[in-house]
């Protein structure tokens, strides 16, 4: 079954409000310093996640539990592609089977992310979001579209990827459930409004922003990323749940590299609940999908109904920004390769008059952590 098959028309009875829980877990990195892969750390993270699912069901009666990026792997800057390939999992592997049993026992949907390897694309690893249904089965797969690190993005191998998985729609899968229509995006994707707009045009009503955010000014509350989340929810008349990592356990750096502040936002762009710190916690909010549907059915300030894609399509079609299939013939090694391509794109946009060159040398972005993208 292709990812595109998840988008289909199914009728459900009117859904009463239900609880969504975002987990901000403590995470033990699977790499520490120069040591080899610590599989016991991954197992510890997995057991911790299963306990969080049980707690969310027991105390909040949650119907959907959302975990952050890296909740099983942790994050260790500076590791090679080969290291992350070794640490990567498979969607049909024992780890998701364990999470599936926890989801089935709790009777809820579970969303999260893994580093993944695919036999169809050897020598590559992917940042892959997933949703498990209340029977424990894999119900949706989304692979991160935007990143500047060594992982492969669908656009890097666009022609082959869309041929294998069902066309352009496979990049924006939507899972239709009795709770509402669910779509995922990962971390850096939030900065590209096209991602959530495409998910909305596929029917998404609830965005699951599976993230891992540090302490740069643009990550913190009232920074660019939080503002982007609220705008994405408002402009698409959609709920948005963002899960961020909590403290690092048994790592080599500080334990509080994440700013925390996981949040749940309603379709007006209002924050319904937010974690108050970077500590390990859960937050829960009530999701009234009928209220969202009444808003989307209103013939006033209805941005989805009033959108005219044909106005914008020619400009997008003619744009020459980041290349499709840019890493189809070889695998990019990471930030250095991607920054080189980015510099070439900026130079080309400047030559064509899309950008205007500054009078002073531009900020290089030095000092930013790879995990922040």
Break the chain into its structural domains and give their ranges. 3-310
β partners of residue 274: 263
d(CA 281, CA 165): 36
Tokens 């952050």 belong to residue: 68
- What is the predicted pLDDT for the residue at 228? 97
Confidence of residue 373 (pLDDT cuts 50, 70, 90): low
pTM for the model: 0.93
- Looking at the domain covering 3-310, what would its CATH class be? alpha beta
d(CA 309, CA 295): 21
Tokens 């990049």 belong to residue: 171
Q: Report the chain's mean pLDDT, rounded to a whole number.
A: 92
Paired tokens of 239: 């709920």
What is the arithmetic mean of pLDDT over 361-369? 60
- What is the predicted pLDDT for the residue at 365? 58
- What is the predicted pLDDT for the residue at 310? 96
pLDDT for residue 301 is more than 90? yes
Give the tens place of pLDDT for each residue, 209-222: 999 998 787 787 78
Give the tens place of pLDDT for each residue, 107-118: 999 999 999 999
d(CA 19, CA 239): 12
- What is the predicted pLDDT for the residue at 364? 63
What is the arithmetic mean of pLDDT over 271-289? 97
- What is the predicted pLDDT for the residue at 11? 53
pLDDT for residue 192 is more than 50? yes
pLDDT for residue 356 is more than 80? yes
DSSP string, 211-277: ----SSTTTSTTSHHHHHHHHHHHHTT-EEEEE----BSS-SS-TT-S----EEE-TTS-EEEE-SS
Q: How far is CA 279 from CA 27, 44, 168, 229, in A?
A: 11, 18, 39, 21
pLDDT for residue 33 is more than 50? yes
pLDDT for residue 94 is more than 70? yes
Q: How far is CA 178 from CA 63, 108, 134, 272, 293, in A?
A: 10, 12, 11, 22, 13
Confidence of residue 5 (pLDDT cuts 50, 70, 90): very low
The kind and range of the H/E element at 140 are strand 138-143
pLDDT for residue 3 is more than 90? no
Pick the range with the lowest mean pLDDT from 141-155, 163-177, 202-216, 354-368: 354-368
pLDDT for residue 318 is more than 50? yes
Confidence of residue 148 (pLDDT cuts 50, 70, 90): confident
């Amino acid at each position: 079954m292709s990812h595109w098959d998840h988008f289909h028309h199914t009728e459900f009875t009117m859904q009463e409000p239900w609880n969504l829980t975002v987990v901000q877990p403590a995470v033990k990195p699977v790499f520490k310093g120069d040591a080899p892969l610590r599989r016991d750390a991954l197992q510890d993270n997995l057991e911790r996640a299963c306990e969080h699912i049980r707690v969310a069901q027991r105390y909040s009666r949650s119907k959907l539990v959302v975990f952050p990026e890296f909740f099983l792997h942790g994050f260790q800057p500076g590791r090679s592609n080969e290291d992350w390939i070794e640490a990567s999992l498979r969607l049909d592997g024992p780890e998701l089977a364990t999470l599936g049993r926890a989801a089935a026992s709790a009777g809820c949907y579970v969303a999260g992310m893994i580093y993944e390897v695919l036999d169809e694309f050897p020598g590559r690893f992917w940042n892959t979001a997933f949703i498990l249904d209340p029977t424990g089965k894999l119900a949706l797969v989304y692979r991160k579209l935007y990143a500047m690190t060594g992982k492969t993005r669908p656009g890097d191998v666009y022609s082959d990827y869309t041929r294998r998985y069902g066309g352009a729609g496979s990049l924006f899968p939507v899972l239709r459930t009795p709770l509402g229509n669910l779509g995922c995006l990962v971390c850096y994707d939030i900065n590209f409004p096209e991602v959530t707009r495409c998910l909305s045009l596929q029917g998404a009503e609830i965005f699951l922003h599976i993230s891992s955010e540090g302490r740069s000014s643009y990550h913190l509350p009232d920074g660019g990323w939080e503002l982007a989340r609220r705008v994405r929810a408002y402009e698409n008349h959609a709920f948005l749940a963002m899960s961020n990592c909590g403290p690092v356990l048994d790592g080599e750096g500080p334990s509080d590299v994440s700013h925390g502040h996981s949040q749940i936002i309603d379709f007006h762009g209002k924050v319904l609940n937010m974690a108050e710190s970077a500590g390990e916690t859960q937050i829960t909010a009530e999701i009234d999908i009928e209220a969202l549907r009444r808003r989307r059915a209103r013939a006033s300030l209805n941005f989805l109904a009033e959108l005219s894609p044909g106005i914008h399509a020619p400009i997008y079609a003619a744009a020459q920004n980041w290349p499709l299939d840019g890493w189809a013939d070889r695998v990019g090694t990471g930030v250095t390769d991607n920054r080189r391509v980015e510099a070439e794109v900026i130079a080309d946009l400047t030559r064509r008059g899309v950008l205007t060159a500054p009078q002073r040398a531009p900020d290089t972005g030095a000092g930013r952590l790879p995990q922040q993208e």
